[in-house]
Structure formats: structure tokens, C-alpha cells
Amino acid sequence: MSTAGGDTFKILLDCVEKGHNRNNDNLPSIFRVPSTLRDISPGSFEPRFVSIGPLHSKHENAQQSSGLKESYLHDLFHSFDFSDSMRGQALKECMEMVNTSIDQIKASYSGMKNPVSDDELAKMMVLDGCFILEFCFKHFKDYNKYLPNKMQNVCVAIDLILVENQIPFFVLQHLFDCTLKKHVTISLAKMLYTVLATYLHPFYYPIPETDSVPDVATYDHILGLFHRCYGLPQTNPSDEIKPLEHSATEPLNETETPVHSAIDLNTSSGQNKNFPMTVQFKRCLFACFSFLGKLLQTEPSYKTEPPIHSVLDLESSGVKIMPHQNIAFPMTIQFKPSWFSWFPFYWGKPTLLLPQLVIDDHSEPVLRNFIAYEQCVPQVHYHFTSYAYTMSTLVYSEEDVSTLMESKVIIYRLGSNEEAANLINRLCRNTSLVDFCYTQQFRDLDNYYSGYWPQLFALLNYARIKRTYFRSPWNAIGLIAGIILFFLTVVQTYFTIWQPK
């Protein structure tokens, strides 16, 4: 074997060993977003005010925030009546913890263009981590006294959930244990969620109680924490990925009747004794009405995911679209068929309940970073990707956006409806969807849409007629007056032609 051939063999053998070692490592959870996602909206992944971690340490915004980091580090270690020796001991414990975990910290990152030394990385972890802790801790003090202006706070909060702008959660936890744990009555996860959720509001709901945030849980970073909190009521990501069952979105109390499925009706007589007679009566009515409804509609077969029709198509078929009230799980989507699905008028209309989306300056970066996190970390459920795919399919035009705004499903605080439609339609560009979380909901919806009455409504374009002529009382009066005038004209013409001689 020639010398050149021997060198090539050694290089390839070294690649084999490196590949084996990488297969044994955990996949990094902090990474540079692939260009296929970044190029669509580069500004959505870059920090605006403060850089966290090594991936953006050389960013121009990092220079203007370096002084603030040092100031917050000082404030954190002077927040309590510590002596100089106690502050020094606490800082020493922080450094020792970071130094002993330096290999695990480096394994959490991928795509560093400018590798940093272990000492520089350790310093960065302590400085950035303490900045995050103090930023949140200041919110438990006097807001106006200790925090900068509100605009800067919003920028910091948005920067703290960028997928490229993270530090490992275990580092934050260790720093919290060395500094704040003995002096606050709240866990780190709940403190982060309580503070940052006030600035991150992709969905227009009151902030859920911190009881929904697990104290003992493994998060990748702050973005991973919020992904878990905003996600759907599924099991943990380590479980088998499967479509979300519709019935898991909202628990029923004993006086409510499940309207999403007739499966619960097939209970034994012994089980039915545990329910009030009114509930049994409602279920019997529901079974009868469901049977009548199925006589007038065909049941499509699905070899793939069910189709999602546009907002105007759904409205034309008689579907009511409304925002849901599930505060615990803001991303819930529900389809509630009517008990009178065989009846062609108001009582026969089903309801599609959608999350109440807020579109403002910060919505696109927040949603895009959640989607990028799902696309690049295999063990994470595709909650935000499923939601973005649903919205991009529902919204085909400006009229769809206008309809969703009228129904309060979209709260739009920027330019035109066209811009909102473009933003929604771009969210899922260059993404893949592995586990669609709303399969059952839209399968039920398409079953209704394929029925006799909905197709007749769509043919007559019922929704467009309603929107054009019945948007206001004056439009309705004008339509009725026009019909009466037309009728009188026809009568007058008839008597003019056929008047007796």
C-alpha cells in the first residue's frame, strides 16, 4: 500500500471511530438552525439584545449587553446579606460545578463556528446563567426600581427562548441551587415560567397556573421548558409518538356529555348506574341523532391524513369557527359535531374550536423557534409544527384571515390581512411533519364536510351569501327591500300585460 493510500486509510479509520463515538453520545439540543429554515426568516433566530451561550457570543448585540451581564452578576450575589467570604464561596461553588460538567456542556452544543476554550466556556456559563437568574429574580422585587425599560425586557425575554441562544437547563439548575434556592419559595422551572410567560404570549389566554409546570422534570433548556408547558396533553416525549386523541384535550364533569365520539355510549348496564339519569337520557338522544346524521352522509376512507379545508369552505358548509376556552392547554383544537347533524339549519351546525392566536412583532420568532426545535430534536413531539400546518392549510387567502379575525380566533396587531396570511403560510415552509397531533379532530370534521347538507350548503355558497347580505341589519333590510321591489315589479308587469280589455 502506498504512503498516500496509507494516509487515506488512516483518515477513513479515524472517521469510523468518530462516527462510533457520536452514535453513543446524546444528540445536542442547542444548535444552529439549518439554512432551509433560517433563510426564510433570518432575523427570527438571532438575538436582538442579549446573547446567551457560545453560538452568538461574537454577535454585535453581545457587546452592548456585556456590561448589563456584569451588573446583574453583581446584583445576584449582593441580593442577600452575604459576607464577602460567603459570596466568594458561592461563586466558587458555581465555577466548580461548571468545570466538572464542562464535557457535558460542550456535548449540548452543535455548530460552533468559533470554538472556545474550556475556561472561556465556563466563564460564559456562569455569567450568562446568573444573568438569566437575576433577570427573573428582579421581577419578584420592585419592578420599576430594579428592571430596565419594558421594551428592553421584552427583547430579553424573546432572546431567552431562541433555540441558538440557550444554555443547558442543568447548568441553570446548579447555579440556582448555589444562589437562590435557599432564599425563594419557588422552583427554578416555575420562576422562569412565571416571569417569561408574561412576555411570550403566542396565544391569547391568561397565563396558566404554575401548578402545570412540573418541579421535577428534565428539560433541555428554557425553550424546552416552554415547549413542554405550551404543548398538548400528551405523555412525556420518551413515550411512543402517536396522534393525539381528541378526548384527552378537556376532561368532562359528570353533568357533561361527550360530543366528540359515540364510543363512551357503549358502556355496560352496571357502569351506567353510576351516572345520573339525565346523562343517560342525553346519551341516548345523542346516539339517535348521530344515527340519523349518518344516514345522510357518506363515510370517507382514509389512507393518509384527512384533508383540511379552508376557513371559507368550512364556513360555506355550515361549520361555526370559534376560539376555545381551554386555558390549561392553549394549543387545543376541538371539533364538536351537533346533536342535530341531520337538521339543515342552525341547530345542525357543528363547531370547530381553535386556539386564539396573537400576531404581533414577536409572534413569528417565537413560533419559528418552537418549530425549529421540533424539526431538529427527534424525541420532541410536533405540537407547534402540527398547529402551524393546520393554520397554513385553513388560511388560503385574506378572506380566510378576515373570517378568523371576525370570530376572534386571530388577534392581529400589525398591517394588512394579506401580510397575516403570508406569515401564516410561511411558517411550515421547508418543514416535515412526522406526527400530526390533530388527526382525529380533522377526520371527524371531514366526515361532516362530506355529508349531504354540508355539500348542499357549499354548493349554494351559504356562508358567502350570509357574509355579503347579512353582515349588518341594513344589508339585510336592503336585501329584503330589493326582493319586495322585484316582486312588485313582476306583479305590475303581469297586470300591465294581461289587463282585461
Closest CA to 50 of 130, 115, 131, 126: 131
Hey, is 359 helix, strand or coil?
strand
| pLDDT recorded at residue 13 | 73
Angle at 433 between CA 419 and CA 442, to 5 degrees: 80
> What's the CA gap between 329 and 202, in Å, rounded?
13
- Provide the grid cell at 421: 396570511
Closest CA to 291 of 320, 259, 257, 262: 262
- Integer CA distances (angstroms), 252 to 247, 248, 256, 308, 352, in order: 9, 10, 6, 27, 18
**Structure confidence by residue, pLDDT tens digits, 108-152:** 998 777 778 999 999 999 999 999 999 999 888 765 566 767 888
> What's the CA gap between 159 and 120, in Å, rounded?
21
Residue ranges in the chain whose pLDDT is less than 50 = 20-21, 23-24, 235-277, 279, 281-283, 286, 289-292, 294-303, 346
> What's the CA gap between 353 and 334, in Å, rounded?
5
- Provide the grid cell at 108: 449540548
Contact 374/29 with Cβ under 8 angstroms?
no
Tell me the sheet residues that pair with 354: 323
| pLDDT recorded at residue 467 | 58
| pLDDT recorded at residue 114 | 72
| pLDDT recorded at residue 243 | 34
Backbone angles phi, psi at 322, to 5 degrees: -140, 155
Rg (CA), the chain: 29
| pLDDT recorded at residue 262 | 29
CB neighbour class for 421 (10 Å; exposed up to 12, middle 13-18, buried from 19): buried
Closest CA to 383 of 271, 274, 253, 248: 248
First-to-last CA distance in the chain?
A: 121
| pLDDT recorded at residue 191 | 92
Contact 283/267 with Cβ under 8 angstroms?
no
| pLDDT recorded at residue 384 | 95
The 10 Å Cβ neighbour count of residue 32 is 18
